[in-house]
Amino acid sequence: MGRRRRARELALQLLYELDVRGEGDPGPTVDDFWRRHTVPEDVQTFADAIVRGTKAHQPKIDELIIAFAERWDLDRMAVVDKNVLRAGIFELLWGGGVPPKVAINEALEIARKFSMEESVRFINGLLDRVRRELLP
């Protein structure tokens, strides 16, 4: 597995933990998380950037998910799926340097590993719609 994929998977795990705990500020949870997961510095740096960026933009990201996920409430979505979407949208809109197709493909690969196949289709449709409607 590549370093960036590993970083994205760790970012999902950390976003999941923050969501389950109801924590908006990554602060101490991040430090505790990295004490439990020893990884190369570049992996941790990339994962941290995804987590912190996703959390910083979360209100806007959640608005987009609600707008593009027709007939779905954010509260009804599986925590994993919601956080795959959040990280994917962050990378699409604010990730800087990640081509949109790569951001979507990475989100789908992570969803395949951590979620169900029907969720993968849902995530693909929503991220593709964000890409088509919000990117130049």
**What does pLDDT average to in each consecutive run of 10 residues of the chain (136 residues)?**
94 95 80 94 96 96 95 91 98 91 97 95 97 93
Domain residues for the domain of 91 are 3-134
Q: Give dist(CA 122, CA 118) in Å, integer.
A: 6
Three-class SS state of 37? coil
Tens digits of residue pLDDT in 84-109: 999 999 999 998 788 999 999 999 99
State the pLDDT at residue 62: 97
Give the pLDDT of residue 27: 78
Check which CATH number belongs to the domain holding 38 and give it.
1.10.940.10
pTM for this prediction: 0.94
What pLDDT is attached to residue 38? 93
Task: Report residue 54 as tokens.
Answer: 């996703």
